[in-house]
Structures are given as structure tokens and as C-alpha cells.
Structure 1
């Protein structure tokens, strides 16, 4: 059984540091920083299994253009406890506590070629993205990110709007594909197709397991990064946003629609 709770005490935050080190194989966030953050609008949620910390989410207060929001900076799951929907439960609990604290929006980033994260962030949680950040964190040396530009999608999660309670659109029949995958020597090759005009829905494929591709063929993983970057940026520049990841047998596909079609309560992205 997994227990979720907000973390504020020093010994709890020390546990978070240890799990951070295990998940990313890099130096954890300093304790003085996380302790200060949770005292001033930040939020750390822990997931426990029989008193063992097996997952956490960490966010701090952000502010821009007159609005305070929560920057959800990290979400980590112990390797032995993955694929048990702990990440989804952490985010839902984060939303609950964030609403209690007065937040209306939560923002975070993720690698747009990571299917698992995309499915959680867009399809399950109903976040949206219209911002692409090239090499967001510079060159990273941890085990998950080493060797590629740290490009990121910036997710905006409007936690008190109609959009997050609506079912995914699944309107792929009207969609125009902007890319295809061809398999060569058991590796997925990306081929861009078409251009962004004014279709109601666009789709774009991404690998089902980008981490494996990075390990097996770093050059091909780099090609995926550069080629898809250009398409993502063109879509966002023309007013589209990513709203869903549809999982298929051989590939996963993003869906993009005009932001003006979404029920975001009049809140600008």
C-alpha cells in the first residue's frame, strides 16, 4: 500500500536527497534550498511503502505577469516501484494540495521524446504544451540525459479548469500526420512529412522507448532530437499545442490542436 503525504521536516527531506541520488545518479538539491522552498510556497510530496520513501515530487513557487504558480521541478520514482502509477498519484495529490494553497496552475518540463512521461503529462493528467525550450538545462551528465541537448516541453497544467476533467479528444481521423517511422536494423528512423498549414489536428510520431534508443544508437537518437525539434517549434509558432499522446503497437503519436479550441477558462498559456 502506498501512502502519500506532504514533506516538511529535515529528516524527510534527507530521504528525498537519497532517492534523488538513486534515480538520477547526480548530486541532489541542497537541503537548505528545499527547506527554504517548502517554507515559502513550495511543495514536496512523498510516496511511502511500509515507511520507505519510494517516490517524490518537488515544486517551488513561481511568479510571472501578476500570477503565482507552482513550478513542479522534479518527480522521481524508486526503480523497483516504477510502472505502479505512483507518479500519477503523486501528481494528483500535488494538484490537491496546490489548490488548497491557492495555486491555479502548475508548470514543469520533460523531454518530449520520452513516451512514458508524455502519456502521463498529457493524456492522463490533461496538461498541455505550446512551449519548446532548446537545450533547456545545457549539457547534462546524469545517466538519463547524458549525450543529448536537453530540449524540453514546458507543460502547463490548469488545475481548476474544465479541460483537465474532459476526456482526451482521440480525433485522429481528422488528423494530418507530420512524420512517419521506418524500421531499419531494428531501429526507428524518423521521416518528416508535410508542413504545418491550418488542419484541425496534427500528429507526430515519437519512439516508444527513447532511453533504449539512446543507449543502442546515440547518433540516431540525436537525429530524432534535431528533426522533431524543428516540427515541434513550427507547430507551436502557428498556435498549436500538444494535448495528448496516443499509444500504438509500433509507435506513439502526439496530437496537436489549436489552443483556442481548449476549455482553459480564458487563462493565457
Structure 2
């Protein structure tokens, strides 16, 4: 049985520390403290839990934000205990978050994610329907936890327009789009209507086997995303090669699609 609800019990807030460690390999220094989260929940934030057979298996953690004169919800964390991953719980959490945020009167949720994490990028862009026009360099600094270790913590900024047709349609799709032929003329070429940026299939494995190659991917994609956004491109999808060994961001020039 799956139940989604706001977290209220102090013991459940304490359990979120263990979920953070399980989901991301966080060290104690990285953990978002439970006493802060209780205050966020009380004073305008939104912390929801997913309970599986009565056990807390995952959570979302969001706060009220403001950017360029517009108020929105900033989703700081969405995590699922490792033993419950690959069961679709992350999607259920984001779906519940969307529904509750709309009830609160907000239409936009923003967050950030590592552009080299291919499956998380697929989840955010293809399953949830976010777009991105913003890239930030090394926003957390280099840390020792599994999520932050080894590379600059560059992030794409996600914008989730909750009531858009794009989001509504994307949330009905599941399978990743397959591209039959690698679009070499559009690869890293920001003079066309459509452009593609390749990322490694599994950056975590690459970090373990060849940190120098992983760092080269980080610096190359940083340069490409910054160039693309300066030229008015929008990240709109993730596509896979036919053999699913290669992964590409798909970008459109925003003026070409208006």
C-alpha cells in the first residue's frame, strides 16, 4: 500500500536523515537537519512523504522562493531510500508535490540537477516536462559525499511550469525517445533550429574508473551549455541512441519555436 502525505511526526522527520544517506550517500555534514525541516513545514514550506506498507520510503522537501519578481516553489530535495528505488516512487512524489503546490496557488516549481546524471535528467525533462535555460557552475563546491565527490558541482536549473500543456503531456509518457541516426550536423552546433549535447551514459561509473575523463566531460558540457543558453537555446528533451549506449540533450532555439 502506498500513501502520500505531509510529514508531521517528529520521528518521521528524523528518519529523513537516513533516507538522505541512502539515496545520495550523504555524509553527516551534508544532511539537512530534521529540526530545520520541521520549521520549514510549519512556516510555508512543503515536505511530503511516501509511505510504503506503513514505512517512510521517500520524501520531497520544498520552500517558497522568489526570482526576478516572481514567487514560486523551490524544490530542494526529492529522495527515495535506495531499497525502494526503480519502483516509480520518485514520480509519485513529484506528482503529489505538483498537485499540492497548485492548491497552494503557485504555478512554477524550480530546482537544480547534475546535467551529467543521465537517468535523473531523463526523469526531470522527459517524464516531468521541465525545461532549462540556465546553468550554474560549482554551486555547492566539491564535497566528499557520493553525490558531490570528485567533480565541480555544476547544475542545470529546472523550471517546471505546472499547468503547461507540455508538462501535462510529458507526465503521460514513459519510454525514452530513440533517435535512429546520430545528428552529427546538429551535435554541438548552435546555428540550427535544433541542437544536441552528448553526455556520458553513466557518469558515476566513469568517476570511479577514470576521474580525468569524467572531469573532461564536466568542463566540455559546461562550455556547451553556457554557449547554448547565450544563443537562446532551451533544453527540451533527452534522447537515446538506438542501442541506448549514447545519450543526448535536445535543445531548441527559443525564437524558432515561438
Tell me the TM-score normalized by structure 2: 0.88
2:20 maps to 20
Q: Is 2:253 the counterpart of 1:258?
A: yes
CA distance in 2, matches of 1:92, 1:50: 19
1:215 maps to 208
1:21-49 superposed Cα distances (whole Å, 9 cap, x missing partner): 33333222122321111122211111111
Of 230, 239, 242, which aligns to 1:246?
239
1:155-205 superposed Cα distances (whole Å, 9 cap, x missing partner): 00000122212458x6969995478xxxxxxxxxxxxx65422x1111122
1:85-130 superposed Cα distances (whole Å, 9 cap, x missing partner): 1111111110000101111100011100101111110001000011
Distance 1:217 1:39, change over 3 A: same
Aligned 8 A contact 1:61 1:71 in 2 = yes
Aligned 8 A contact 1:56 1:77 in 2 = yes
Q: Is 2:74 the counterpart of 1:71?
A: yes
Tell me by how many angstroms 1:250 deviates: 1.3
1:87 maps to 90
1:184 maps to none
Q: Structure 1: give runs of 5+ residues left out of the alignment.
A: 180-192, 264-269
Tell me by how many angstroms 1:57 deviates: 1.2
Distance 1:238 1:262, change over 3 A: same
RMSD between aligned residues: 2.4
Q: Is 2:196 the counterpart of 1:203?
A: yes
1:47 maps to 50
Tell me the TM-score normalized by structure 1: 0.85
Distance 1:171 1:162, change over 3 A: farther
Distance 1:255 1:195, change over 3 A: closer
CA distance in 2, matches of 1:7, 1:178: 50
Q: Structure 2: give runs of 5+ residues left out of the alignment.
A: none
1:10 maps to 10
Of 213, 222, 225, which aligns to 1:229?
222
SS in 2 for 1:130: coil
CA distance in 1, matches of 2:240, 2:188: 22
- Judging by fraction of residues, say which structure has more strand: 1
SS in 2 for 1:129: coil
2:65 maps to 62
